[in-house]
Structure 1
């Protein structure tokens, strides 16, 4: 049985027969990319295979034919031409000051100069000048145009995204550095830049205006990540006894308008850790920045998981303005559901990609909203059992306890305690953290109900109000929000919840049962 390549980001090691790793062949897509243009940009979430892609491109353009034996591209590439490759990764440097930024970048460029056996920086100590010299000297030495590969291009900015002054400084340094590429166009064969975020071209790549963004291009949608077919073919020996539909539900769902994708890290860890369903990818990062942004951008939480945006929102990401929806998408906590055109503008509908993110993201929100971190598991388990049994008294008590746990300072904004969306957001996060199938603002012919929970034997149709006792349940019945669920063999519970802005908790919990 082949080994699982956990943490392996070097192509030569991945395909080494002595190492005997599972390798998912992406060279068909890579060949299409390499032959279709010159300047490319790709944004993908962390641990999605970007560094392996960079390493593969490095060996391909370097002409290392032996590494590609048995792969799609083996007999479909001109191995006679070997290009000098400059590979820059911002993954390991120190960018906390202008001096350390320049030192880190200069060190990376010097390493490239040493590998290419050219001089760079003996008399020129500034990174931009060194980069310019490195490109020209590599071209002179080999007689071939240069390939430039940049990994984690945005890390010097993202590492300081909550420290605006340093983030701006690093952005401006990078903008100047990337501008060298356009200046040296005549010496360049191919440029590929990748990272997590999709910073505004205007603010970071204005000097490189011929950069082609393939982030949402269906042709290149599977360059990184695993398709369901690839998982089955490459990891078949490991998948014995695995419920493939459950695997898909938990980890598949990333969509860039091609086939839905798995994050490779999830698949590898799932197979290595006794095939237990856990939030492997989520656990490797610390998305606390999301909470900081939520504080600044008060949003109705369910809207974040079922929203519609246009290109202007997705492309407006910058240090001075970070739209939380754009950030959630770029970092992998939201993905695309569909797209459509209206009045000459393309709109995108977003969704949570899979169960791992649904549960983990909402647990994170609950940790922010409440002081129940240590008690979450017990409370969530009790709530789940109560929903399955239709124990309305226990459901009410459980929700009341949830709101009792919210610190006073969370209501410091005087507006928030009157904001219906806040209370709905807390309950939504609570239910969603159970992995329940939720429909938010589900439509009927007379309007939208706030929340619907659909279980195998029961349906809960829920409406929220603030300081309006008696209205929530009446609205459900008057507008017939529940009628679409009748006659489907499930008991239907109509639940009206009114909150008191003064007490900051439930003041009325009304419900009716319509048995199947």
Structure 2
């Protein structure tokens, strides 16, 4: 009989006691302990079992769970006598930053202090222990929600001191989702302030802490060593590209197929693989995201469970407000094709506003794209390696398509009408509808302080191309910024049915008014149309079998939020 699937359960003890569906990951305990690394940072995409694995480690090592070997009976770790003797023998400090999602620095620090206060409450038996000096007992009382930043930064170090003396054994520290506040700090504009606070907190906790046996931090990203980890030369970093712990997080294909057999879903293996396979850790291929698998086992329906389990807000903003280059590369990915870009595993959030490479690194760490292959390592370790990347699986494909369509919800009717006008050659309607779209949605595509006023319209319309592509891929092959004739066109729509005159070939050229050369939008749009003809952009469509008489040229001229379209 198949076990019950408990959705959202992150308590190892509860899962085992209630005999819920569980894939045995206790081998991770042995692998980590045998590696003997002082401080380990493990990055994996969200909902890949990081919190459950951390809770599992707590249950195994914490002296709060002394004589609770029953939780591990029948699991892989319990086969080793040496590890049976280790169970329940260490003081463990376990905390999570997963809920620190405040939109300003002050509230973020207040939340961290609240977490530290709650942690101390579970060890308040120390205040009655004669082993502490009067000053140390006063230090315990100073741990409050209005404590100073300096007190908060040393709180975990001091707690380690007290616990190690009380139990006569150094402590294990587990910090889950360490980078959640860092992502919020980037999104809300207080990155530098939080970096300074966090650097001191981590240095005190993980570097200058003689009472620390070992520690694990988990997160989605590897934040740059030059920011919060600058003092931690004892840090072992394990990213999605590393060879350690490749099967400890996420489900292997065999684990997924065994689960499908258990739940009477053996016939679904091929479809499940298409939807949810594709993740790769180190050289371990065919890793599945656990969240989608357990939801599929429970509901027995195909849905983008993992992709829709959060707002994906950061990625949404980076793509929506990104450069035309980023949007062009997203077009390539959405067509099922491969992009070739440099990857640097050390995410520098402060660079995301202007570094296109940092965006791909974040998307890879977050699980949205996967590695197809990589260039060989060179002697120059300072250079980022070039990686060939693709969308991870069908679930991610659906997520991005829905994300792009949502950008245009405020003007969906206008957009549909514009597409009809574009195909039919109705210039008057194109102008009317496009100006409506611009007024209704332009602000949501404005790239803000890092993008010039001249570039903002270009970003908007390249965003529009992606939305257009999702709607028209049945009828057109859509490309942008590609060579044809003697230059590079902005947008080309190649009809799939070359004999159907209802779907003409379409070439679009965008131009922002140059006030030094042009006096009006009329002159700008004429320059755009002249460029299409002089550069012979028709060449590619004609070579592919489109009749020259069935090719439409359109020029788009911008001045702020004003748009003028003309064609011939």
What TM-score comes out, normalization by structure 2 length? 0.70
Cross-structure match for 1:70: 74
Which deviates more from structure 2 when the two are superposed, residues 431-440 or residues 78-87?
431-440
Moved over 6 A (4+): 115-120, 396-402, 433-458, 460-463, 470-477, 480-483, 494-497
Change (3 A) 1:439 1:38: farther
CA distance in 2 between partners of 1:454 and 1:79 (Å): 67
Change (3 A) 1:318 1:90: same
Cross-structure match for 2:362: 327
Q: Does the Cα contact within 8 Å between 1:355 and 1:435 map onto a contact in 2?
A: no
2:556 paired residue among 478, 481, 500: 500
Q: Does the Cα contact within 8 Å between 2:339 and 2:390 map onto a contact in 1?
A: yes
Q: Does the Cα contact within 8 Å between 1:9 and 1:51 map onto a contact in 2?
A: yes
Per the TM alignment, residue 263 of structure 1 is displaced from its structure 2 partner at its CA by 2.0
Per the TM alignment, residue 110 of structure 1 is displaced from its structure 2 partner at its CA by 0.4
Q: Does the Cα contact within 8 Å between 1:438 and 1:452 map onto a contact in 2?
A: yes
The RMSD of aligned alpha carbons is: 4.6
CA distance in 2 between partners of 1:281 and 1:289 (Å): 16
Q: Does the Cα contact within 8 Å between 1:85 and 1:148 map onto a contact in 2?
A: yes
Change (3 A) 1:334 1:78: same
Cross-structure match for 1:339: 374
Cross-structure match for 2:308: 283
Report the secondary structure of 2:232's partner residue.
coil
Change (3 A) 1:445 1:501: closer
Structure 1, residues 330-384: CA drift from partner, whole Å, max 9, x if none? 33333333221375442223332122222222332333356345899xx69xx9x
Q: Does the Cα contact within 8 Å between 2:442 and 2:460 map onto a contact in 1?
A: no
Change (3 A) 1:25 1:337: same
1:193 aligns with 2:217: yes
2:259 paired residue among 227, 234, 241: 234
1:26 aligns with 2:44: no
1:315 aligns with 2:346: yes
Cross-structure match for 1:362: 401
Change (3 A) 1:443 1:506: closer
Change (3 A) 1:455 1:339: farther
Change (3 A) 1:170 1:243: same
Cross-structure match for 1:205: 229
CA distance in 1 between partners of 2:126 and 2:389 (Å): 44
Q: Does the Cα contact within 8 Å between 1:256 and 1:336 map onto a contact in 2?
A: no
Change (3 A) 1:148 1:296: same
CA distance in 1 between partners of 2:262 and 2:390 (Å): 32
Change (3 A) 1:453 1:254: farther
Per the TM alignment, residue 50 of structure 1 is displaced from its structure 2 partner at its CA by 0.9
CA distance in 2 between partners of 1:316 and 1:452 (Å): 36
Structure 1 residues without counterparts, runs of 5 or longer: 387-391, 487-493, 510-516
2:140 paired residue among 122, 142, 153: 122
CA distance in 2 between partners of 1:224 and 1:439 (Å): 38
CA distance in 2 between partners of 1:255 and 1:400 (Å): 47
Per the TM alignment, residue 90 of structure 1 is displaced from its structure 2 partner at its CA by 1.6
Per the TM alignment, residue 225 of structure 1 is displaced from its structure 2 partner at its CA by 1.5
Change (3 A) 1:159 1:66: same
Change (3 A) 1:505 1:49: farther
Q: Does the Cα contact within 8 Å between 1:58 and 1:85 map onto a contact in 2?
A: yes
Change (3 A) 1:310 1:72: same
2:198 paired residue among 174, 199, 203: 174
Report the secondary structure of 2:464's partner residue.
helix
Structure 1, residues 454-483: CA drift from partner, whole Å, max 9, x if none? 99999x998654465598799687458977
Report the secondary structure of 1:501's partner residue.
strand
Q: Does the Cα contact within 8 Å between 2:179 and 2:221 map onto a contact in 1?
A: yes
Structure with the greater alpha carbon radius of gyration: 2
Report the secondary structure of 2:46's partner residue.
coil
Cross-structure match for 1:2: 3
Which deviates more from structure 2 when the two are superposed, residues 429-438 or residues 105-114?
429-438
Cross-structure match for 1:490: none
CA distance in 2 between partners of 1:451 and 1:239 (Å): 48
CA distance in 1 between partners of 2:553 and 2:233 (Å): 53
What TM-score comes out, normalization by structure 1 length? 0.77
Cross-structure match for 2:114: 104
Q: How does 1:465-480 map to 2 (within 5 A)?
A: 465-466=509-510, 468-469=528-529, 478=539
Cross-structure match for 2:90: 83
Per the TM alignment, residue 200 of structure 1 is displaced from its structure 2 partner at its CA by 1.2
CA distance in 1 between partners of 2:359 and 2:78 (Å): 43
Q: Does the Cα contact within 8 Å between 1:362 and 1:430 map onto a contact in 2?
A: no
2:271 paired residue among 246, 269, 274: 246
Structure 1, residues 204-262: CA drift from partner, whole Å, max 9, x if none? 11122221111121332332122222111124233527543332222222233322322
Q: Does the Cα contact within 8 Å between 1:109 and 1:130 map onto a contact in 2?
A: no
CA distance in 2 between partners of 1:424 and 1:264 (Å): 35
Per the TM alignment, residue 496 of structure 1 is displaced from its structure 2 partner at its CA by 7.0
CA distance in 1 between partners of 2:432 and 2:318 (Å): 26
Cross-structure match for 1:50: 50
Aligned length: 487
Q: Does the Cα contact within 8 Å between 1:358 and 1:433 map onto a contact in 2?
A: no
CA distance in 2 between partners of 1:29 and 1:497 (Å): 60
Report the secondary structure of 1:7's partner residue.
coil
Cross-structure match for 1:11: 12
